[in-house]
Amino acid sequence: MIATRKNQFSLGTVVATPAALATLERAQESASTFLDRHTSGDFGDVDDDDRQSNLDAIENDERIMSVYPLKNGEVIWIITEADRSSSCVLTPEDY
């Protein structure tokens, strides 16, 4: 398990697509759980290169992306913009 720390970066304004909200509702899961994981450095189901890119992005003010499989097998993404003005919860199909 990768050690994480709380609030490694700011989310800015958080928005979610209708599809992401519906996906979370179907899975009976909360966006806040995944937003907490995202800001703590738990980027979910990303490979080692993407994990390192996210860690570098925290230090260099670049875009951060996490991928989270839900209990029902569906997936959500969270993307935080480079300027930390906003974060979006979305589905891969929204992208």
- Does residue 76 fall inside a structural domain? yes
State which residues form the domain around 33.
Answer: 13-94
43 CB contacts (<8 Å, ≥6 apart)? 37, 50, 51, 54, 64, 65, 66, 67
What is the structure's pLDDT at 1? 45
What is the structure's pLDDT at 7? 87
- Over residues 57-77, the pLDDT tens digits come to 999 999 999 999 999 999 999
Query: In angstroms, what CA-CA distances link 16 with 30, 57, 76, 81, 90?
Result: 12, 22, 10, 14, 6
- Does residue 8 fall inside a structural domain? no
- Does residue 54 fall inside a structural domain? yes
* Confidence band for 2, pLDDT divided at 50, 70 and 90: low
- Over residues 3-62, the pLDDT tens digits come to 556 789 999 999 999 999 999 999 999 999 999 999 999 999 999 999 999 999 999 999
- Does residue 30 fall inside a structural domain? yes
